[in-house]
Amino acid sequence: NAGVMQNPRHLVRRRGQEARLRCSPMKGHSHVYWYRQLPEEGLKFMVYLQKENIIDESGMPKERFSAEFPKEGPSILRIQQVVRGDSAAYFCASSPAEGIRYEQYFGPGTRLTVT
């Protein structure tokens, strides 16, 4: 059973470009979460999605950031018009369902560098 897959592992973008980060959850998992780890900071929750639904986006910046988890295919975190402050490691996690019993399993992360 493959773990959570993220690609690309490393992404370099110039200021003003768009970044697309992809996440494939573990087989059988229908819940996806995105977290961001800024340099020298702890991980911060960004958004929680189920198939075709955004459940909680309270941690997402109000502008330039969006996330989706379509019926088919991976979850996508999209950052438009990137700025240097977006440079960070972006982690995706998945769980089989919502509830107190379920662990979140993390992917290896995508390290975004904005030049």
Partner 1 sequence: KQEVTQIPAALSVPEGENLVLNCSFTDSAIYNLQWFRQDPGKGLTSLLLIQSSQREQTSGRLNASLDKSSGRSTLYIAASQPGDSATYLCAPDYGNNRLAFGKGNQVVVIP
Q: Which residues bind partner 1 (CB under 8 A)?
A: 4, 31, 33, 35, 41-45, 48, 55-56, 58-59, 91, 93, 95, 98, 100-109, 111
Q: Which residues contact 72 (CB under 8 A, 6 or more apart)?
A: none
- CB-nearer residue toward partner 1: 18 or 46: 46
- Measured CA to CA, the distance from residue 115 to residue 7 in angstroms comes to 19
- CB-nearer residue toward partner 1: 13 or 31: 31
Write b or e for each residue in 71-109: b if 16 or more Cβ atoms lie within 10 A of its Cβ, otherwise e.
Answer: eeebbbbebeebeeebbbbbbbbbbbeeeeeeebebbeb
- CB-nearer residue toward partner 1: 8 or 18: 8
